[in-house]
Amino acid sequence: MHRNSSVGILGTGSYVPEKILTNKELETMVDTSDEWIVSRTGICERRISSEQEASSDLALYAAEKALEAAGIRADQLDLIIVATVTPDTSFPSTANIIQDRLGAKKAASFDLAAACSGFLYGIATASQFIENGLYRYALVIGVECLSKIVDWTDRNTCVLFGDGAGAAVLGPVEEGFGFLSFDLGSDGAGGDLLKLPAGGSRLPASEQTIADRLHYVYMSGGDVFKFAVRVMGSSAEAALEKAGMKKEEIDFLVPHQANLRIIDAAVKRLGLSIDKVVVNLDRYGNMSAASIPVALDEVVRQGRIKQGDRLVLVGFGGGLTWGACVLRWSMKEKEQLNHG
């Protein structure tokens, strides 16, 4: 095994379904208004997967784009991690489905559930495999089809969520670049604040659970909001401290896209100018594990992120979970003789 001291992102990709659901359309479905949704969340529209589309379909498109951007073939992948709370099935994992459809013949694969923090948990996990020399290339995907588990009669939750997928190929990068630090955390005591009550071994699917509408997302909005405002800033600061970096050195903040007021609170705490903050929540809503990688892919493809830029990725989610990472951007892979 050859240890790799620096691990980074070699390529990104994303995909969102074609169907757009606007706030105006939601006004015809539930008792809400465009003005109410925009003023409280910042969301104008979101993408909704078709009846035929599952999480693996969205993830496959994003994965193929990330591999192309990285210049890596699927059969070179050693590991695939899919972060999702809306897997195609409980098992096999969505990562197994992707592994087969990509033709990633030598890749180990598994799903990871940390809700909206999932992509951060995924890249933190994958980077360790590469850093310790066990693997060279890993594909991490954040994907959700939240429209399938949202109660379209609940005006408090249905306006918030959307579907999408974002992916990143990880590998060894030149010294001093790539991931500089991670900060991950959880508070299971707050698990009941944001959850999908039924469908697991606690409350298996039954006529009663369906009648009680327990197969839809439940969220205590006010409590989650307070938690998010607190933890987004503190986790970002913890990651910066571990990286030995000051707030003033941040070139880009890529936050989880849940609510504009939550993002604004984190931006204020970090003292950032708004041009350094990546926001696409107005177009996509909250895509849970897909939010951060989709936002990252968009700014990469816009050419806004340059070699050596310092990025902070930060998010929070059900569990309760949170996470942040600091990375110094490099699209250049560390060349080694055993490359191939």
CA–CA separation, 32 vs 28, rounded Å?
Answer: 8
Active-site position among 96, 116, 145, 280: 116
Q: Are 168 and 126 in contact (CB under 8 A)?
A: no
**Is 116 among the catalytic positions?**
yes
The total number of residues shown for the chain amounts to: 340
What 3-state class would DSSP assign to 209? helix
Active-site position among 145, 158, 286, 325: 286
What residues contact residue 231 under an 8 Å CB cut-off, 6+ apart?
A: 185, 316, 322
CA–CA separation, 205 vs 195, rounded Å?
Answer: 15
DSSP characters for 115-143? GGGHHHHHHHHHHHHHHTTS-S-EEEEEE
What residues contact residue 35 under an 8 Å CB cut-off, 6+ apart?
A: none
Give the CA angle between residues 299, 317, 312 to the nearest 5°. Answer: 35
Question: Which tokens belong to 47?
Answer: 């993408």
Amino acid, single-letter form, for residue 108: A
Q: Residue 283: what are its φ and ψ, rounded to 5°?
A: -95, -25
Active-site position among 256, 259, 280, 325: 256
Owner of token pair 């698990």: 191
Q: Give catalytic residue positions.
A: 116, 256, 286
